[in-house]
Structure 1
């Protein structure tokens, strides 16, 4: 039997590769339609955002940085968490396996057929994509899409999605500052709280506050992220205005809303300076602490891989409980009961936390109609802004007085 010539073999390999890419593209297009059914395939590149440069100079980033190796937990809590101040932490990821494992080559080899969440469909059901398809997308169509698909998966640790055991959870370690996790006391009621985040340039999350008053940390293993954060007292109509015909993706915010914060006011300040906007360029190996109540928006500047977790600690337990009591009453009751038990079992550590939650009984609960939820539209939230704003001031004023006793 005559063997095929080298040129014939190369030709067949090329055809197979082309057909393979075509199959990938077909599957990717279906997934894109599920995630954004309002867009046709051409509309994904309508605004040509890929032609713009969204990088910022390092001098714009004035966020304080602390060295994880030399900053104790008590010092972190005293200087940053208790004061509700964001900070960037260096050297957290120095010894993580993720440094070697969260590369394109390793992920393709070991997790190529694993499913990861990349969005929700019109029925609010999760949409998943295989890692091999995602990496193909990120190096092809994703390079030009205005707001590319990205992995934001709270179930990345589950082995049930594949035949092999998923060890991504073993690739990182929760930093010492954030090991306390009071929300675990709620058991199965607990909402999602940790996510694997992988995405290319211009992907990211729109402006939002983290759920239920929780604080968060985000450790970046690969790539660069651009952040803007706002103090809790910043008016929502400034940082989250209506953006039609644009969507509420991170890239749209940076293109449409960010420029308004750089305009000079009559007093010479920019709007961002007036309200204390914090700009951040997060680099590989850096971990950002985002306090509860701080609105923030995030955009990836290149292909990134990160892990992020929300948490409830002794320090922010009051604020988290009040937020949870308002948004999810049953979960709030469960959290309250479990912390009271903890206060009895471990009084030296948690009695003061249990007592502080007891004191919040005297703070009236916000009625469901006041204030805007995370999912409310800009139109509906702005129409009732005057009445809800005054109620919020009373609510948080009473809360702060109790905290400062």
Structure 2
């Protein structure tokens, strides 16, 4: 039986970029405007949270009971981070659901290429959370999905190893019609299902210190290959605003569409003032 590394050689890999540091112009011109997924392997190795966010620190800081998914199909549990770490079940997947508390948010600064017009708007305090901390054992992870409002995302891996399956946007409409056909059920002893999908995804094994960019119009699934801890933020800016606007147009909610239009306008005005 082929191992995962051998099987991934039969797929096309997500672009890997070892540039450091990463500038906004380089990101926008090379990946952002093109909507091209990429794994940055050097630019973010020295982020402070990589060493600061120890299990002890997070246990003392993430005290809110979060809805924790269970891959065994039982009802979700509500656990603090410390409770999650002490749980005997290996199938639990921890994810913060609300706004990160100020202490956690002040531990890092969102990299400039991923600045978010929604999170930084002066029109009104944001009502939707776009920042998440994830933790899970091998075999846990996300189901196939597109991100909130079709916004783009960055994911920074602090510990562990993740498998990413990212589908180019050209496949999105077909995948939307039959999500179950693209849903991988992890099997540590047999990964052949990765190459037996109707459309082959772009693949990547993400290591600690790597940061992955996922465009908002790409369906994707993430599977932890070992115990992993990561931080994800979604963002809306000049690289993807039209995709987000289309989401709200399709949603037929005029109030939300009007608000996002105002945020987009504000974002472009702010860009002009910075020139």
Residue 191 (structure 1) aligned with residue 128 (structure 2): yes
- Who wins on radius of gyration, i.e. which is larger? 1
Are 2:117 and 2:264, in contact at CA under 8 Å, matched by a contact in 1?
Answer: no
SS in 2 for 1:204: coil
* Structure with higher helix content: 1
- For normalisation by structure 1, the TM-score amounts to 0.56
Provide the residue aligned with 1:150 in structure 2.
93
How far did 1:326 drift? Answer: 2.0
The farther-off stretch of 94-103 and 297-306 is 94-103
Tell me how far apart the structure 1 counterparts of residues 233 and 271 of structure 2 sit (CA, whole Å).
27
Provide the residue aligned with 1:171 in structure 2.
107
Say if 1:207 and 1:346 are closer, same or farther in 2 by CA, change over 3 A.
Answer: closer
Pick one of 95, 98, 105 that aligns with 2:49: 98
Tell me how far apart the structure 1 counterparts of residues 180 and 110 of structure 2 sit (CA, whole Å).
35
How far did 1:68 drift? Answer: 4.7
Say if 1:334 and 1:103 are closer, same or farther in 2 by CA, change over 3 A.
Answer: same
Provide the residue aligned with 1:130 in structure 2.
80
Residue 78 (structure 1) aligned with residue 57 (structure 2): no
Relative contact order (C-alpha < 8 Å, sep 6+): which is higher?
2
How far did 1:133 drift? Answer: 1.7
Provide the residue aligned with 2:246 in structure 1.
322
Are 1:182 and 1:314, in contact at CA under 8 Å, matched by a contact in 2?
Answer: no
Within-5 A mapping of 1:264-303: 275=199, 277-303=201-227
Aligned length: 263
- For normalisation by structure 2, the TM-score amounts to 0.80
SS in 2 for 1:56: helix
Provide the residue aligned with 2:162 in structure 1.
225
* Structure with higher strand content: 2
Are 2:155 and 2:233, in contact at CA under 8 Å, matched by a contact in 1?
Answer: yes
Q: Deviations over 1:281-339 (max 9, x none)?
A: 00000000001110000111111111001110112111111112222432221111343
Say if 1:224 and 1:193 are closer, same or farther in 2 by CA, change over 3 A.
Answer: same
Q: Deviations over 1:337-387 (max 9, x none)?
A: 3433555x557369xxxxxxxxxxxxxxxxxxxxxxxxxxxxxxxxxxxxx
Within-5 A mapping of 1:18-33: none
How far did 1:58 drift? Answer: 9.7
Gaps of 5+ in 1: 1-51, 121-125, 143-147, 159-165, 264-270, 351-405
Say if 1:93 and 1:168 are closer, same or farther in 2 by CA, change over 3 A.
Answer: farther
Q: For the aligned residues, what is the CA RMSD?
A: 3.5
Are 1:183 and 1:335, in contact at CA under 8 Å, matched by a contact in 2?
Answer: no
SS in 2 for 1:167: helix
